Amino acid sequence: MDDPEHGAVQIHGDEEIIEVIELNETEQTPGGCPAAPLRQPDDLAEEFDDVDFAEAGNVDDEGWETEDEMDAEQDDSELTFSRHTGSVFCISLDPLTNNLAVTGGEDDKAFVWRVTDGELLFECTGHKDSVTCAVFSHDSKLVASGDMSGLIKVWRVETKEEIWSFEIGDLEWLQWHPHAPVLLAGAADGNVWMWKIPSGECKMLQGPNCQATSGKILPDGRRAVVGYEDGTLRLWDLKQGNTIYVIKGEGSTIHVIKGVGSTIYIIKGQDGHQGALTSMECNKDGTLVLTGSVDGQAKLINTSTGKVVGCLSLDNSDTGNTAEEQDSNSVESVGFCNVLPLVAVAYLDGTLAIYDLSTQSLRHSCKHEVGIVHLQWEEASAMVAVCNLGGVVTLWDGRSGSMVSEYHGHSAEILDFTLNRRVWSLPTQSSGPVEFRVLREASVAVTAGGDHKAKVFCLQRPDRSSGQEARLIYAVTLPLSTAIMLANLPIILGIAYSRQLRNPPGYFYLSLLLADVGMGVALPFIPWMALGRALHFSACLLVHVFPNFLFLAFVSNLLLVHYDRYASIASPLHRARSWLYRRHCLTLLAAWLLPLLFALMPAFGWNGREERGTNTTAPPGCGRPWPPGDSCCTYRSVFPTAFIYLEVYGLLVPAILAIAVMTGRVLWITRGQLRGIQRLERAVGDAGRHRRLELRYARCVAAVTLAFLACWMPYMVYMHVCMAFLHRRGEQGNTRAHTVLLCTGIAGMASVPLLLGLANKDYTDAARRLMEI
């Protein structure tokens, strides 16, 4: 093929001639109509002269430029690592801090770099082929990298030195032991290697003569599950080096083979996979393993019995698919949800299937336009993130099956990604020195792409529901707040204008009414404490401390008024001589000053900033990026756990119990006084009045009891629910239920002063006289 023309055009012989067409004749169409004659070069040239190529090209170029600019501008990543010169195949985060990442690529290199600012720590050199595996050890002290040729190297992160290397056959996967410096690797020849690092003590788990395509060490650290190209799944005892179970997909018999030192059960049946295994994952306790295969099915396997307990498939059929159909819709990734009985299965055709683990039924089918590469559930929520061949990371809500958000930035396919499992910080966007802002309770995805880049995405859930939450909060709290303030206003003005009520009991009750108005002012702020907002810490302190102070002041004044009522009945002669009455100004000052001092403790340093890393669940409202210097403002940022327990169980619960005891004591004293009246009535012989007094007392007890339960029980239930969520640390309640329950409880408490005022004729008469004026 030295002749260029001969290489460009194939010359056929006479026997290959199919039809001869005369160029100077008019071609007839099948319908008998003459076709358009062939254009001559001169005719085409004349037509081209009439075309303004510059103008047309500019118009077209403008359109393409706009589209390119749009693609270039859509980069949702927080940071881009660009040291690789080829496709980035693998990525891993250190499990201890999630601040370090290791990436391996087509350029035969692996890099260890810091996720917060992209700074390169060191390069893992010496590889002879593309680095396809790179992982950190359980304590983040070691990092292992392996290339396609089978060369595995281990580096010490602190000293940045290579401490061990070994070469096997073609490498398929690499994984560290979850509790020890032990490294496992699967090879193309079916063998699984296990080394103790850095001594290099070796053990080999010999498999079938086919690739060990995937592997997973179970959480107990004593067993490992390995999947092979022939569809076989083996459960290994790592200490003994023996196979516990072997599950195959062909045949229908069960064989029991006596092994050395243990029994090997080889289970064959239609329950097994019919194609190569592609992925596997286990649940938190290691009792179940979920496997995926090119046959388009996912299998649930009990690791204790070795039995297949479930088969998850989109078409709900184990057979009937051709090999071509199976390969075209193979399972690419699987995963368990940690907080709900859900599993996710990602398929090559772009389908993300979410199954109910308890019923093994398809719950949601989430469609993508391109194939999915990998999926991973968030550690402490029902959110699942996937990366696909379109270069996009998508976050889905596993409960509703709805897409939460998409994250763009890669110009090629994403080949691997991982989510962080701890809270960490990101640098602020500033031109000066690098400053770090804390991204509390936010998942971060680190991706490896075919565009030679690794990117960091902050998967903060956008507040698509924040508008609905805000409308709900305002719709419930604003009318309620207005009603509380307006209901108190007539009694406040009546007491202020009445000279008869200018005494210590009147001042105490007036202070309570003012505190009740403060509750109405604070009510719209209180539901936001359980949500998240992007605020500077000083502003975060203000919006939490101020409502808390008004609430505590209300409880303090309410306790004071109840004690006044109790003292007026229990010891009316000593009431006027008590210190509370003789120094009523100091009493009122203490009723307001002590709650203020307690509420200001977070501003004096006893706040929850040190507990930021203890909770890994993103609260509602922390889902959008915020300006530099701001942070996610929640009640956990302001109130430490000890402060919350002290306020609830040291102040609120004793105060409510004291009010209940004083109310019950008053009823008991009233009962005794009623007995005396009844004895007097019996002496004069008026039996009808005696029965009327009994009925009136019974009605009074029933009214007080029902009023107490109606006013206090909603808040007690709300407080119990909140403390239950706080105790579990990490679970979030329903925002709508939280808002309704909170407002109901606050409204019940705020109605207590009004009921006390309505029960006192002096206060109602003063308000009535004011209204008549």
Q: Is the pLDDT of residue 33 over 80?
A: no
| β-strands 263-268, 254-258 pairing | antiparallel
484 shares a domain with 419? no
Q: What is the pLDDT of residue 557?
A: 92
Q: What is the pLDDT of residue 425?
A: 45
449 shares a domain with 372? yes
278 shares a domain with 224? yes
524 shares a domain with 449? no
Give the mean model confidence (pLDDT) for residues 225-244: 92
pTM for this model (two decimals): 0.56
CA distance 527 to 59: 55
100: in domain: yes
Q: Which of 238-252, 519-533, 643-657 is modeled with the greatest confidence? A: 643-657
The tens digit of pLDDT for each residue in 370-418 reads 999 999 998 878 889 999 999 999 999 898 888 888 999 999 999 999 9
111: in domain: yes
653: in domain: yes
**Assigned token pair, 456:** 């960091």
Q: Is the pLDDT of residue 115 over 50?
A: yes
* Structural domain count, the chain: 2
Confidence of residue 429 (pLDDT cuts 50, 70, 90): very low
Q: Is the pLDDT of residue 474 over 90?
A: no
Q: What is the pLDDT of residue 753?
A: 84
| H helical segments located in 228-281 | none
Q: What is the pLDDT of residue 62?
A: 41
Q: Is the pLDDT of residue 41 over 60?
A: no
Structural domain harbouring 196: 79-459
**Assigned token pair, 681:** 């009535």
Q: What is the pLDDT of residue 608?
A: 62
135: in domain: yes
Q: What is the pLDDT of residue 533?
A: 66
Indicate the helix (H) or strand (E) that contains 282: strand 277-282
Q: How many helices and strands, by DSSP H and E, does the chain display?
A: 16, 38
CA distance 120 to 427: 15
**Percent of the chain predicted with pLDDT > 70:** 74
Given 439, 459, 479, the domain boundary residue is: 459
321: in domain: yes
Q: Residue 624: what are its φ and ψ, rounded to 5°?
A: -115, 155
447 shares a domain with 401? yes
CATH number at residue 342: 2.130.10.10
Confidence of residue 468 (pLDDT cuts 50, 70, 90): low
CA distance 383 to 401: 10
768: in domain: yes
Given 459, 492, 515, the domain boundary residue is: 459
Q: What is the pLDDT of residue 491?
A: 83
486 shares a domain with 432? no
Q: What is the pLDDT of residue 581?
A: 78
51: in domain: no
443 shares a domain with 578? no
Q: What is the pLDDT of residue 446?
A: 94
CB 224 within 8 A of CB 303: no
**Assigned token pair, 408:** 């763009």
Cβ neighbourhood burial of 508 (10 Å; 0-12, 13-18, 19+): buried
CATH number at residue 658: 1.20.1070.10
284 shares a domain with 256? yes
649: in domain: yes
Give the mean model confidence (pLDDT) for residues 187-213: 92
Q: What is the pLDDT of residue 83?
A: 94
539 shares a domain with 422? no
412 shares a domain with 320? yes
CB 264 within 8 A of CB 243: yes
CA distance 319 to 272: 12
Given 417, 440, 459, the domain boundary residue is: 459
Q: Which of 280-289, 566-575, 609-618, 754-763 is modeled with the greatest confidence? A: 280-289
The tens digit of pLDDT for each residue in 706-729 reads 877 888 888 888 777 777 776 654
Q: What is the pLDDT of residue 761?
A: 77
Give the mean model confidence (pLDDT) for residues 550-575: 86
CA distance 130 to 87: 9
744 shares a domain with 651? yes
Q: What is the pLDDT of residue 273?
A: 86
507 shares a domain with 451? no
Give the mean model confidence (pLDDT) for residues 554-561: 91
CA distance 560 to 593: 14
Give the mean model confidence (pLDDT) for residues 564-577: 79
Q: What is the pLDDT of residue 169?
A: 85
